[in-house]
Structure 1
Amino acid sequence: MSQQAEQRYKLCEVAAGIKYLHGRVPPIVHGDIKGVRDVYPRANVLVDEYGQAKISDFGLTRVIVEMEAAAATTTTTTSAVQGTARFMAPERLAPELYGLARNMDAWTPMVDVFSFGMLLYEITAGHAPFAKSSEMEAFLAIIHRQRPAIPAQWESDPEKRGLSALMQECWRHERAQRPAMAEIIQRLECAGAGAAG
């Protein structure tokens, strides 16, 4: 299997895992999808001894129904951001910019879609998003609508060009404009890559 094919297979496995979480009743939002261990040392996408990608670190995971119950009794907001800014959706980083009264209001499946787009960038580029920036610089870049630079040479590679288009859709600033995980799986052509669920 070529390196590109292997990377795509791993991306499909991660996408299938996220789709599985989002498809539960009630939906589960991971909230901190970040990096592959080979590239990003604080990653939570791990590769087992058989080469299969596994999502780990469910410490920030939220079940939508629990968040709705908490929202009904909570009137204050907290500005503390938990997780890794360079992989996070802007509505998680600064919910007030979206008219969201509480951080928990930002927790929708679309935060995982944004993070998946950053993971897609990391795997394709071979380094973390905003690799030369501090977490604070990455935080500010994301909320100011900046995204990692797409290398010009990707345009001449059909595989990378397609992945580039998909990642840019995943990290759209407005969450309603991001694709659902089912569409992402279809676009990655994940047939047979553990895309059940």
Structure 2
Amino acid sequence: MDHSLDEIVAAAPIENNFLVVGQVSTTAVTNPPFVEVRNGEYNGDHVHVYVLPREQCGEVQRRTLWRIARLAQANHANVVQVIGIGMDASSVFVLTESTDFGTVRHHLEQKLWFDTGASIKILHDVASGMRYLHGHEILHRALTTDTIHLSSGNVAKISNLEFARQRAAAAAMTNIGIPFYAAPEILTGATNYTTKVDVYSFAMLIVEVVTKKEPYANVDAPEATILEHVVQKHYRPVFDRSAKWPADLFDLMKECWSADPEKRPTFDTIVPRLEAILDAVPP
């Protein structure tokens, strides 16, 4: 069902008079359909303002905005809070809570690495947020280190806006995330996939957190060739597994990247397993 911009804004309204928009953010990631992300202040709180010109709000964009409006009801410590949606004569803008410490990808690229315990704690935060989203029948579809933001205390929060996409668009992974994070069933163009696609992406998240590099960064082959092998030959990342990382973490990773979605665990089971792994890490 198509919704008008007025209906979308009414579903998650904000008071424009209480919003002050500042400079372009250097920590938030801009993703389609938004053209930029700015820092702002709303009711005295720091926020991120995702901006979309009204003339670019076609049917697909309005569907995305409608999903975002519905996500304004999501409330979890490990999910970036959508505050609401506003509109003026030229733009539609989505307000989210501000996460001041950038994305996990940013930290890895800048070599701002985490120790073993902090890394597993981030993975646990992500799994907790995903358990909440799946419990509310929300698929992410674009879970990568670019969509995991860090707040004070290195609390990991899943960004809402990257997963507010339509299932049809999700089949084209280059439009919603990094192809190497995509589950095989998505790469083959399936449209009847389940929450288990996010579990597969979580395995790739483990790979990147452990290796500090994107999955398959050490493979000298065209992307298309790697993806073909992922689907047809069940090829997965190969890397040196340092003794500092618990073996149980790698066992979990391999279960999460199973070619058979039904054999992948749910986040309901992943969370307590990560809790046990984290408890066993020496201080």
Answer whether TM exceeds 0.5 for this pair: yes
Larger Rg belongs to: 2
Distance 1:78 1:184, change over 3 A: closer
Distance across 2 between alignment mates of 1:192 and 1:4: 9
**Displacement of 1:163:** 1.1
Question: Which range moved further: 140-149 or 15-24?
Answer: 140-149
Partner residue of 2:271? 185
Distance 1:51 1:60, change over 3 A: closer
Distance 1:105 1:128, change over 3 A: same
Distance 1:119 1:149, change over 3 A: same
Partner residue of 1:165? 251
- Kindly indicate which of the two structures has a greater share of residues assigned to helix: 1
Aligned pair 1:147/2:233, yes or no? no
The partner residue of 1:30 within 140, 146, 150 is 140
Partner residue of 1:38? none
**Displacement of 1:158:** 6.8
Task: Note if contact 1:84-1:135 (Cα within 8 Å) is conserved in structure 2.
Answer: no
Matched to 2:208, the amino acid is: E
Q: 1:130-160 CA deviation, whole Å, 9 max, x = no partner? A: 1145543442232131000042x44xx2743
Q: 1:56-113 CA deviation, whole Å, 9 max, x = no partner? A: 15344468xxx6xx9xxxxxx9964333111110001104xxxxxxx4312x110000
Aligned pair 1:18/2:130, yes or no? yes
**Displacement of 1:50:** 3.1
Which stretches in structure 2 are left out of the alignment for 5+ residues? Answer: 1-113
Distance across 1 between alignment mates of 2:128 and 2:276: 9
Task: Note if contact 1:19-1:181 (Cα within 8 Å) is conserved in structure 2.
Answer: yes
Distance across 2 between alignment mates of 1:28 and 1:44: 15
3-state SS in 2 of match to 1:104: coil
Flag as ranges the 4+ runs of structure 1 deviating above 4 A: 190-193
- Kindly indicate which of the two structures has a greater share of residues assigned to strand: 2
Aligned residue pairs total 161
Q: Map 1:126-141 onto structure 2 (within 5 A).
A: 126-133=212-219, 134-141=222-229
3-state SS in 1 of match to 2:154: coil
Fraction of identical pairs, as percent: 30
Aligned pair 1:105/2:231, yes or no? no
Partner residue of 2:29? none
3-state SS in 1 of match to 2:192: helix
Q: Calculate the TM-score normalised by the size of structure 1.
A: 0.71
Partner residue of 2:184? 90
Distance 1:17 1:138, change over 3 A: farther
Distance across 1 between alignment mates of 2:147 and 2:163: 12
Q: CA RMSD in A?
A: 2.9
Determine which structure has greater relative contact order: mean sequence separation of CA pairs < 8 Å that are 6+ residues apart, divided by chain length.
1
